[in-house]
Amino acid sequence: MRAPLGNAGPAKLLSAAATGLVGFIQSRRLCLDSVLGSVGVDSRHLGDPLAKLDLRKYCDLLDLAARRSGDDNFGLSFGQQFQPVQLGLIGYIAISSDNALHAAENLAQYFRYHQQLTSTNLSFSDPFYKLTYRIEDPRILNRHQDAVLTLGMFCNVFRHCSGADWCPDELHLEHARTGNWRDIESAFGAPVRFECRTNALLFRPERVVSRMPQADSNLLSLLCRNIMTLGLEVQRTSAAIRTEGYIRQNIAAGNLSLEHASRSLSISSRTLQRKLVEENITFGLLVENFRKSESRNKLLSSEMGVSDIAYDLGYSETSAFVRAFTRWYGISPSKFRKMHRI
């Protein structure tokens, strides 16, 4: 999901992303105080997983450490050894998910609470899923160390349940081809394409069916609420969260509307619309996102027929649901279910 760009202040990220970074810098025989001081990072913030770091300074720190150590693989190596639990709330959300695909969906949905002004998205275009990651803040120029680092973190989420030899089918990177491209391909076990529109992992459906060993739906629900409360962008998403609750409660009736939602939330329709616009979302898109997510869940976790799912999601005709689902995932609901059943 894409974070709004209307934040005048510097973009932030939760410092859990820097867990172990102090020791990693020191292992390269660099002077920690000099490196941190050069980019203005306070070492005291690196020990608190809920502390907020300046995203640009974090990216500059990775770039500087790579240059001073003479190691172009600094971010690559740090990301490859970074375990999901070290990521704090977003990491625990991933490993508490049902399976690898569900973890990817949750990364795409909740990463905005972990890091601001960043786009994450999961889409499907036969034959690949595509999990994307891109910093949207144009003020941040040093980002290629962060890109390979973060995609490495995402890979390790999949390896947590699928084994250490899990690899994507393809890797996309924004930046131009670098001299260490063979090292990148070796680390990810996949061919890499440079100068792409976004950073991404591409993988086939059969690669993301493994269940998470610590899957826990109750814990997952609690963690998702916690990251929305304790993480970033809380104020920006409050109206969207309340509207999503209305949608969940009323979707089956099929009479969703901004006016009805505003009455249910005890707010004027004009005010609700304005707040949603401020959060870079619309009522219609919230409805569509809910239907997209719920349709996938119902197809994979229930025996409901396609027609029943359509009516449960407020469609008056099955054909309308099939068209919408095919637009979202590139294949029909029946084919999607068949492809993803183990």
The stretch 3-24 carries a mean pLDDT of 79
Q: In what order do the strands lie in the sheet with 118-125?
A: 118-125, 128-135, 199-203, 170-172, 192-193
Q: Which of 170, 193, 208 is the last residue of a domain?
A: 208
| Whether residue 190 is found in the same domain as residue 238 | no
Task: Report pTM.
Answer: 0.75
Shared-domain flag, residues 186 and 238: no
Question: CA-CA distances (angstroms) from residue 93 to 16, 106, 157?
Answer: 13, 7, 10
Q: What is the average per-residue pLDDT within 63-77?
A: 96
> For residue 290, what are the contacts with CB-CB under 8 A and spacing of at least 6?
244, 247, 248, 251
Q: Is the pLDDT of residue 171 over 80?
A: yes
Looking at the structure, tell me whether residues 197 and 242 fall in a common domain: no
* Angle (deg, nearest 10), helices 55-69 and 144-162: 90
Range of the domain at 61: 12-208
Same-domain status, 25 and 142:
yes
Position 236 scores a pLDDT of: 46
Quote the DSSP letter at residue 176: P
On whether residue 33 sits in a domain, the answer given is yes
Residue 293 located in a structural domain: yes
Q: At what angle do helices 55-69 and 32-39 cross, to 10 degrees?
A: 140
Q: Evaluate whether residue 214 is within a structural domain.
A: no
Percent residues over pLDDT 70 in the chain: 95
| Per-residue confidence (pLDDT) for residue 1, from 0 to 100 | 56
Q: Is the pLDDT of residue 165 over 90?
A: yes
d(CA 101, CA 122): 10
d(CA 264, CA 268): 10
Closest Cα to residue 153, out of 120, 124, 116, 193?
A: 120
pLDDT digits (tens, 9 = 90+) for 105-156: 999 999 999 999 898 999 999 999 999 999 988 788 899 999 999 999 999 9
- Spatial separation of the C-alpha atoms in residues 262 and 268, rounded to whole Å: 6
- Kindly state the tokens that stand for 84: 């999901």
Q: How far apart are CA 312 and CA 302, in angstroms?
A: 13
- Half-sphere exposure at residue 55, Cβ-oriented, CA atoms within 13 angstroms: 26
The pLDDT of residue 234 is above 70: no
Report the number of distinct structural domains present in the chain: 2
Looking up residue 261, the CATH number of its domain turns out to be: 1.10.10.60
4-14 mean pLDDT: 67
Looking at 208, 225, 260, the residue that finishes a domain is 208
Q: Is 218 within the bounds of a domain?
A: no
| The two three-digit tokens of residue 316, written as one number | 């008056």
Cα 305 from chain centroid (whole Å): 30
Rounded CA-CA distance 265/272 in Å is 9
Same domain, 255 and 149: no
Burial of 51 (0-12, 13-18, 19+ CB in 10 A): middle
The per-residue pLDDT for 274 is 93
Same domain, 97 and 245: no
